[in-house]
């Protein structure tokens, strides 16, 4: 891959805990965007293997959904799914088709949800807790930020392999 773009800024070596976590999360957001850069809709929708629905476009759609669903819980709201439904929870991946409008919409949704997540995280103390319907105990913003870093890091590993399979491009 070419040199890292300006939007992919490494986290500081020294900062308070929240600043560091938010910087790492933005770094991983930038990494995913970089892995998807300069690809056409067909390439973005290319699946890892025939039996899988995993694609770069699917990851973009999935991560937008993940940002929304988790950070809405911090605020105690529940907006509708972006792509999925209760009966079809995997439409973020399953519905990722090679179409320019689908790609534009995926990026727009991801950008909007990431910005919303940043706003929620900025105004919420790390110790603040919220409820999740599948977890019996309170969850802190601290846990959520670490979980989101893990979520992006895992999918960035997938993105590395997908991108290399598409055009041979590798990078850090």
Residue 9: the pLDDT is 83
Residue corresponding to tokens 């973009």:
60
* CATH assignment, 17-167: 1.20.120.450
Name the burial class of residue 108, with classes exposed (0-12), middle (13-18) and buried (19+) by CB atoms within 10 angstroms of its CB: exposed
* Average pLDDT of the residues in 110-138: 95
| N-to-C CA span, the chain | 8
Name the burial class of residue 143, with classes exposed (0-12), middle (13-18) and buried (19+) by CB atoms within 10 angstroms of its CB: middle
Average pLDDT, whole number, for the chain? Answer: 93
* pLDDT of residue 25 exceeding 80: yes
Q: What is the pLDDT of residues 29-52, one digit of tens each?
A: 999 999 999 999 999 999 988 889
pTM score: 0.93
CB 6 within 8 A of CB 143: no
Residue 81: the pLDDT is 94
CB 67 within 8 A of CB 109: no
Residue 2: the pLDDT is 56
* pLDDT of residue 7 exceeding 80: no
* Average pLDDT of the residues in 54-66: 97
pLDDT band at residue 71 using 50, 70 and 90 as cut-offs: very high
* Average pLDDT of the residues in 74-91: 91
């Amino acid at each position: 891959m070419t040199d890292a773009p300006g939007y992919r800024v490494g986290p500081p070596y020294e900062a308070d805990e929240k600043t560091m976590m938010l910087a790492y999360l933005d770094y991983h957001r930038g990494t995913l965007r970089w892995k998807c850069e300069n690809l056409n809709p067909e390439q973005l929708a290319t699946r890892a293997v025939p039996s899988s629905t995993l694609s770069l476009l699917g990851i973009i759609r999935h991560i937008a959904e993940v940002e929304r669903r988790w950070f809405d819980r911090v605020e105690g709201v529940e907006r509708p799914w972006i792509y999925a439904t209760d009966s079809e929870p995997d439409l973020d991946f399953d519905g990722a088709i090679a179409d320019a409008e689908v790609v534009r919409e995926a990026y727009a949704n991801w950008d909007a949800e990431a910005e919303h997540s940043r706003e929620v995280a900025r105004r919420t103390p790390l110790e603040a807790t919220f409820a999740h319907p599948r977890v019996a105990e309170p969850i802190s913003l601290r846990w959520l930020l670490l979980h989101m870093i893990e979520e992006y890091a895992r999918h960035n590993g997938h993105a590395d392999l997908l991108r290399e399979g598409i055009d041979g491009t590798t990078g850090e």
